[in-house]
Structure 1
């Protein structure tokens, strides 16, 4: 028997590959299937099952394509209603895989069909728990995503999650290894550890949600401080339930190379959004007017989902040479399949064609410290927890995730400074603001990390871990 965690940092997502005696199972696979097919061929094993812990909201799973290519059965937990052929398992149902067994534990709460998969080894020992979004390391799944579908409040779903965890998971042996579906950085929980594997015994000891005195306390603890889920989540759930176009078809469209003239015509005729995936430093120096910058070297896919929202939005890409396929692939992971093509040879093609360009008014932190005065308006687009830990005195907390709400409050005649932690998020904000006609601002390169090294007055630092405890 072999277990391998396949972790994707951009999504903070863990897929799992299990083999035993010539047979394999994959749990919560990513959208692109070729790496799994290559691994199956290399190991000379047959894929028997594709286990889905639930209908994912934050990414599009590869279950449909993978099943078509391998004839493996897709397995969901009880109450799931997929619109394609799949096994909807019963609670405690056993699936045999080579010399091992996988037991379904129905654990509703995050969603109604949410299930964990318990691995029983060749000797009959319960050895591993693939806990999906039911149990994370340091946290549990948020209970507010399935409210509409289940016609339940988040408190009622949290109550179901309590029953699932305390009656089905906590009684299991301490030495069982926990393999969650997500880690730190995912929007599916609020307080996840950076580690991606742990023992159940350690989680019983340190996980705040597993140490509540009663159900009422648990409900309060897990619902307290939940931020609104990204708006694209519902669209990803729908794709995971209904199916989707093949990844190869999506990639083929996105890899269409367009000249500057073709690119310009496509933007004008289709209403496509121009997504520039270069670094914030390169983008600031010059870009196609009204482009949105979300750098590929960062939490690219989640920010695309949060900022663009509509997965059907036509997109035209500007990329660094050689990264076109990576950009299309990472977009497809969160359901943005309508990529019409990319600018051939990148932004240099636009320059050579003498097309119109724009720039962002960006200054260094040192220059900011020279220009700054007591009444300067400063907008901090970091998360609220980052802002609370330490910020420029009198700065406004306006998290990037909520830009569509706070942009309406801006006075276009009033100048402001804009920053995040390092420049990635503030450049996303700057590009959105400028695309909407706001130009009376200055973005600070290097963000608060650089500002903290200057003499600009700041609040006293408060450790974020202490804030969460």
Structure 2
């Protein structure tokens, strides 16, 4: 049994291929299936199964495209209520992939329809735990109150997770390798490890969820301090329940215009320096300059599902790359067009005099756009007012404009987006981005 872990860093997402004796199964695939086809070809294997541990909230899966292109059977829990061709895969169900056996365990908690997939061959055991068991944590139980086939309150799901952790893994060996669907940086949990895998024995020893504790203690811990829920999460659950359109036909429909212009909602993916030198009025700067930049998360937190927008890119060479990134969260259908800019009719963003700000912070209104949990851990400026970035478009009008406004986050990436939102919405105010100079104040 050969196991390959694929990582998509911006969403801290792991997907998997299991190969045995010429057959291959794919677990929790991302939107672009090409890497799975390449891996199957390299290993002379036929893709025969696609398994979904649950309908994902933070990315759009390619399970339906894989089924259409390869004829593979999709497996998931009956509780999911999937609207695409599939076979149910629940407690006691198993399939053969070559010489390997893949068995389902219902492990509700993150969602009512979550399963863990137990893969065995000879003496090797691997657990594909989806968003149930992470390395050092378990999945958050508060994402399914408003989305999906089965709505469930966070308290009910927290109780389910307690039951799952205390009963569902007991018969499995300590040397079973744990392969989760996410790592550190995902919003599907709050204390995920940087490690990409672990063993069940190590998790029993080190993961807080396996510690001996009462149900109340467990629930208090899992429900406390969870990160915000991006706007697109419920939308992606629903897309994944139906199955997404094939990627390439979907993104090929988006128009592209060189040296063009736009009005209404504009998202500019260029780096902060380029954006501030010249951008279309009203643009919001969500940077995608690196493969690690959390572009998808903030696009789906700032732009509502089905809200139309135009995307500004740095060059035509970036078009396909950026369309792929937009499609990772299923936003390609609301993308009106992709454009590059001319040098005409652009506005500049004035730079903050950091030295003056240091000497006279009282002359400024300081806006902290970090998440609530970050602010609760400590403020950088006592006078700062909290307006989390994911809510800023809705709360901007509550910010006083009698002084120049300085926007800050924790490191500078988010404040580029935050300051551009305020520049768009508070047209008579003077807006400054503290950017990475925030590190001088920590």
Structure 1 length normalisation: TM-score?
0.88
C-alpha separation between the residues in 2 aligned to 1:415 and 1:86?
57
Q: 2:231–2:303: 8 Å Cα contact kept in structure 1?
A: no
Deviation at 1:284, TM superposition (A): 1.2
In the alignment, is the contact (CA less than 8 A) between 1:76 and 1:88 conserved in 2?
yes
| More off after superposition, 76-85 vs 244-253 | 244-253
Task: Return the offset for 1:178.
Answer: 0.5
- The secondary structure found in structure 2 opposite 1:74 is strand
Deviation at 1:389, TM superposition (A): 4.1
Distance 2:405 2:362 in 1: 13
Q: What do residues 44-87 of structure 1 show as CA deviations (whole Å, max 9, x unaligned)?
A: 11001101000001110010111110000110023121111001
Report the Cα distance in structure 1 between the residues aligned to 2:424 and 2:202, rounded to whole angstroms. Answer: 49
The 3 A distance-change label for structure 1 pair 60 and 151 is closer
Stretches of structure 1 that go unaligned for 5 or more consecutive residues are: 453-469
| 1:318 lines up with 2:312 in the alignment | yes
Shift of 1:120: 0.8
- Indicate which of 392, 399, 402 corresponds to 1:403: 392
Instruction: Show CA shifts across 1:167-190 (max 9, x none).
Output: 112442111111000111111111
- Note if 1:142 corresponds to 2:140: yes
Cα offset, 1:113, TM superposition? 1.1
Could you say what secondary structure the match of 1:362 adopts? coil
How many aligned residue pairs are there?
Answer: 433
- Return 315-324 or 157-166, whichever deviates more: 315-324
1:241, CA displacement in angstroms?
A: 0.8
Contact 2:79–2:113 (CA under 8 A) maintained in structure 1: yes
User: After the TM superposition, which residues 7-18 of structure 1 pair with which residues of structure 2 at under 5 Å, given as runs?
Assistant: 7-18=7-18
1:342 counterpart residue number: 338
CA contact (8 A) 1:80 1:88 kept: no
Distance in 2 of aligned mates of 1:309 and 1:229? 12
- Taking a change above 3 Å as real, the CA distance of residues 382 and 90 of structure 1, as seen in their structure-2 partners, is closer
Distance between the aligned counterparts of 1:190 and 1:234, measured in 2? 18
- Show the 5 A alignment for 1:41-440: 41-121=41-121, 123=122, 125=123, 127-148=125-146, 149-254=149-254, 256-260=255-259, 263-264=260-261, 267=262, 273-296=265-288, 297=290, 298-310=293-305, 312-321=306-315, 322-338=317-333, 339-343=335-339, 346-347=340-341, 350-351=342-343, 354=344, 356-363=345-352, 365-370=354-359, 372-374=360-362, 376-387=364-375, 388-389=377-378, 391-438=380-427, 439-440=429-430
Asked if 1 retains the 8 angstrom alpha-carbon contact of 2:105 and 2:115, the reply is yes
CA distance in 1, matches of 2:248, 2:256: 16
Name the SS for the 2:253 alignment partner.
helix
Q: Answer whether contact 1:364 1:445 (CA < 8 A) is retained.
A: no
Q: Who is 1:458 aligned against?
A: none
Deviation at 1:340, TM superposition (A): 3.4
User: How far apart in 2 are the matches of 1:447 and 1:192?
Assistant: 28
Give TM-score, length-normalised by structure 2.
Answer: 0.93
Cα distance in 2, alignment partners of residues 32 and 207 from structure 1: 32
Quick one: distance in 2 between partners of 1:82 and 1:126? Answer: 31
Cα distance change on mapping 1:427 and 1:181 into 2, 3 Å: same
Q: Secondary structure of the residue that 2:205 maps to in structure 1?
A: helix
Contact kept? 1:419, 1:444, Cα under 8 Å: yes
- Compared CA separation, residues 60 and 96, structure 1 to 2 (3 A): same
3-state SS of paired residue (1:406):
helix
Do the aligned residues in 2 keep the contact of 1:365 with 1:445 (CA within 8 Å)? Answer: no
Give the Å deviation of 1:414. 3.3
Correspondence for 1:460: none
**Deviation per residue, 1:349-393 (Å, 9 max, x gap):** x11xx3x111222226445324x2445321122234444345123
Inter-partner Cα distance in structure 1 for 2:46 and 2:353 = 56
Contact 2:91-2:106 at 8 Å conserved across structures: yes
Residues of 2 paired with 1:6 and 1:155: CA distance?
33
